Structures are given as structure tokens and as C-alpha cells.
Amino acid sequence: MTFPNQLPVSIQEIGESLANFSLDRESVQFALSRLPDEHSINKVAIEYEIQLLKILSVGWAISYFMEDHSEKTPLIKKFWDVLFEFSKNLSSVTSLTIGKEVDYFRALKERIDIYLNALAEVPHVKDPASVIGPTFARLCGNTDNVHVIMAGNRVFHLALEGVNHFLESVFSAATDLSAQQPAYPDRRLGAVEC
């Protein structure tokens, strides 16, 4: 992917858009709608965990796709700043509603550690979803349920595809704007092995 001198939107706007994408419920609802109505599946727990997984997957995708670019650090910072503010507001409202202290951002940090530890146990994994899906199912209390594992895999993949598509569209629009400038070597993003 090339990075021209002028982007059509700022890195801050890109970070906000990606944070909003991570909070969007469409892919979460899609994954939940694919679950069978089984007595053993706790859809409330799955809905909670799947939203956390989507946020983490978007953050991971930003790091992955922006790996060698100077824009990575400010983009990641903006993404997590927006999520921190969202988490603070959500925690405050939820705490007032249920009368018990809630820290949504701490839950995100805990899930990051859980997923990273699970990935670290399989250091040469070629398909991160083969670790993410089962870890997600375990967090939901459905360790061996293939439908829950697939729901986690589905959200993970949809987040990666969404971030990849968004970044390519933003940066290709910037390339179109800078057509009169000298060409940069094109490094197309390939499919993520996940």
C-alpha cells in the first residue's frame, strides 16, 4: 500500500472511523444470527464477548496492515483514545444503572492479554483464527461448541476484512488525489492468513 503525501482525511479522522467501525453492531448481529437456538448457548455472554473481540480485532488489524508505516502510531493512538472515551462513558452509565462499579476498558485490556497469551502458546500459528475462535468460545463458556467458535472466527475475519478494505480505499483515494506527483512503489495488501 502506498502512502502519498496528502490524505483526503486526517489520521485522526481515520482513527475515529475505525473506532466507530469496531463499535458498529452489524457484524456482531450477523454473527449472533448464525447461532442456533441451543439451551447450552448463552447469547448474552456471547454478545458481550463478541463486541470485545471485534474491538480487539480492529485494533490488531490496524497494527497488522500499517505495520511498517509512520502513520501507524498516531492512528493506533487515536483509535484507542476514542475507545477509552467510549469505555469511560459506557462504564459510567452502566455503573449508575446497575449500582456496581464497571470498567469496560479494563475488560478490553484483560481480553487483549487472554488472546495474546493464547496466541503465544502456539508461536508459529499460520491461522490466528484457529486460536482466536476456541479462545473466544472458552470465554463464552462454550469451549467445545463449534457454532460459538465459528462466531468468533467470523467476527475476527469480518473485522480484518473491514479494516483492510477501509485502509485501501482511503489510501487509494489519496493516491488518486496525488496523480500528478511522482509515483510511489505499490505494495498491495494481500489476504491475511487467518
The answer to whether residue 81 sits within a structural domain is yes
Task: Say if 154 falls within a structural domain.
Answer: yes
Query: How many other CB atoms are found less than 10 A from the CB of residue 73?
Result: 12
Residue 3 lies in a domain: no
pLDDT value for 7: 65
The pLDDT value given to residue 175: 54
Residue 49 grid coordinates: 464477548
193 located within any domain: no
The ranges of the chain with pLDDT < 70 are 1-8, 173-194
The three cell numbers locating residue 101? 462499579
pLDDT value for 24: 93
- Does 191 map to a domain? no
How much is the pLDDT for 189? Answer: 30
Q: What is the pLDDT of residue 6?
A: 58
The answer to the question of residue 22 being in a domain is yes
Per-residue pLDDT, 31? 87
Write the DSSP string, 20-58: HHHH-SHHHHHHHHTS---TT--HHHHHHHHHHHHHHHH
In a domain, 6, yes or no: no
Residue 20 counted as domain residue:
yes
Query: What pLDDT was estimated at residue 192?
Result: 32
Q: How many residues does the chain have?
A: 194
The span from the CA of 10 to the CA of 32, in Å, is: 34
Structural domain including 56 reads: 11-177
Contact between 76 and 59 (Cβ < 8 Å): yes
Predicted local confidence at residue 188, as pLDDT = 30
Structural domain tally of the chain? 1
